[in-house]
């Protein structure tokens, strides 16, 4: 092979080696950049806003409701859920007592207008309870999760039992048992034309 041919062959080989080296550099990851990316904090993801459990109900926190010659300011609420919303116990504190107005989503136009009651019940509310001198029959029993909202709401655990009781007529009671504690209220069931939602307590009027 002549010297000229050898020189040409060497030049071509050098060129091919250079091109291959440049291709590898382009394809190889930038280690410095990769390390910098690892040091960067992960981008914060915005959590979706929790749904308002009281949205769409006929009553809301802050409402003033009147019935039977009495007015109640709904300052707090106990929300009871199974998988879906089961009941909302709106709380209207009066001194040390917690009067309540109760809504059930399936019967949202009616309310239970209840005052504190004393009951003697085990953690599992029985089929019959004596409440205010009346023998009342249990009409429903739901294992639920509880959530406390607003102000003045009595303490209750994260889960428990929600039971409703009835006597003759429209006499009703509500019993909550949770973590060894019992809350009970008794009163009457009111139709929508028997109570008045007077607006919010903080309205200018």
Write down the pLDDT at residue 89: 98
pLDDT value at residue 88: 97
Domain residue limits, the chain: 63-200
Q: Tell me: pLDDT of 160 over 90.
A: yes
204 band by pLDDT with thresholds 50, 70 and 90 = very low
The predicted pLDDT at position 145 comes to 97
Mean pLDDT computed over 169-195:
95
Question: How does 146-167 read in b/e, with b if 16+ C-beta sit within 10 Å?
Answer: bebbbeebbebeeebbbbbbbe
The CA distance from 181 to 26, in Å, is: 70
For residues 173 and 112, the answer to whether their CB atoms sit within 8 Å is no
What is the token pair recorded at 89?
């116990």
Bigger pLDDT: 183 vs 54: 183
pLDDT tens digits for range 131-148: 999 999 999 999 999 999
Q: Render pLDDT for 47-102 as a digit per residue (tens, 0 to 9).
A: 454 567 788 889 999 999 999 999 999 999 999 999 899 999 999 998 888 999 99
H-helix or E-strand spanning residue 38: helix 31-39
Q: Is the dihedral of CA 104, 107, 111, 112 positive or negative?
A: negative
Which one has a higher pLDDT value, 201 or 67? 67
């Amino acid at each position: 092979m002549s010297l000229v041919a050898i020189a040409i062959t060497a030049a071509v080989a050098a060129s091919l080696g250079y091109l291959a080296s440049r291709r590898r550099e382009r394809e190889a990851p930038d280690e410095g950049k990769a390390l910098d990316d690892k040091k960067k904090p992960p981008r914060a993801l915005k959590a979706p806003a929790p749904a308002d459990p009281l949205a769409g109900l006929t009553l809301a926190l802050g409402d003033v409701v009147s019935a039977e010659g009495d007015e109640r300011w709904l300052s707090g609420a106990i929300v009871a859920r199974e998988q879906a919303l089961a009941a909302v116990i709106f709380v209207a504190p009066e001194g040390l007592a917690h009067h309540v107005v109760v809504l059930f989503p399936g019967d949202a136009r009616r309310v239970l207008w209840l005052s504190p009651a004393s009951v003697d019940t085990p953690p599992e509310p029985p089929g019959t309870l004596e409440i205010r001198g009346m023998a009342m029959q249990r009409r429903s029993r739901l294992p639920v999760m509880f959530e406390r909202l607003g102000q003045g709401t009595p303490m209750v655990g994260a889960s428990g039992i929600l039971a409703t009781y009835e006597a003759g007529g429209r006499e009703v009671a509500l019993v909550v048992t949770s973590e060894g504690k019992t809350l009970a209220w008794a009163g009457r069931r009111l139709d929508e034309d028997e109570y008045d939602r007077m607006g919010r307590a903080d309205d200018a009027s």
